[in-house]
Structure 1
Amino acid sequence: MAGKFEISRRSNGEFQFNLKAGNGQVILTSEGYSARSSCENGIESVRRNSADDARFQRKTSSNGKHYFTLTATNGQVIGSSEMYADASGRDNGIRSVQDNAPAAAITDLTAA
């Protein structure tokens, strides 16, 4: 099963997207966007930038958990991962974004 982007609204009314792997697990979450079109631009940025491993910032939180962010060419964070228990889990998450993002369909959960 292929991955997909899901566009939704936060409680404050902002749009956001989640990239889900084929198994339904969220592998990347965006920031909040005031406009749906900006959210869609963020998705296209993920598609473009996920092919470049250098765009992934591998990080460790203060509690020792591992995570990553995906950045655009201008250095702005496009999306962040969940927390992983170890570096290998984080690295598997990065590979999943790289595998799923380029061809992932978009599902708009805001359309009523």
Structure 2
Amino acid sequence: MAARFEVRHQPAKGYHFVLIATNGQVIATSEHYETHRACLNGIDSVKRNADAPVHDVTPGSGKES
């Protein structure tokens, strides 16, 4: 089974998505969106931009800004 996106709804908070790995573990959680369509657009954005470099700004990484 491939990783999957799951759209969830919470009353008074709106919609968000989680990315679930092949082992069933949640590996990413989105911000909350007001509409279902905005949430789906967020998923599309992640799919388009997922091939991105890592920018580590944690202390000691040597990459702090």
Q: What is the TM-score normalised by the length of structure 2?
A: 0.77
Q: Name 1:24's counterpart in structure 2.
A: 24
Distance 1:58 1:23 in 2: 26
Where structure 1 has 5 or more consecutive residues not aligned to the other structure, the ranges are 61-112
Where structure 2 has 5 or more consecutive residues not aligned to the other structure, the ranges are 59-65
Q: Name 2:62's counterpart in structure 1.
A: none
- Greater helix share, structure number: 1
Q: What is the TM-score normalised by the length of structure 1?
A: 0.47
Secondary structure of the 2:28 match is strand
Asked if the contact 1:10–1:32 (Cα under 8 Å) also holds between the matched residues in 2, the reply is no
User: How many pairs align?
Assistant: 58
Larger Rg: 2
**Which one has more relative contact order, counting CA pairs under 8 Å at least 6 apart?**
1
Q: Name 1:66's counterpart in structure 2.
A: none
Q: Name 1:14's counterpart in structure 2.
A: 14
Q: Name 1:51's counterpart in structure 2.
A: 51
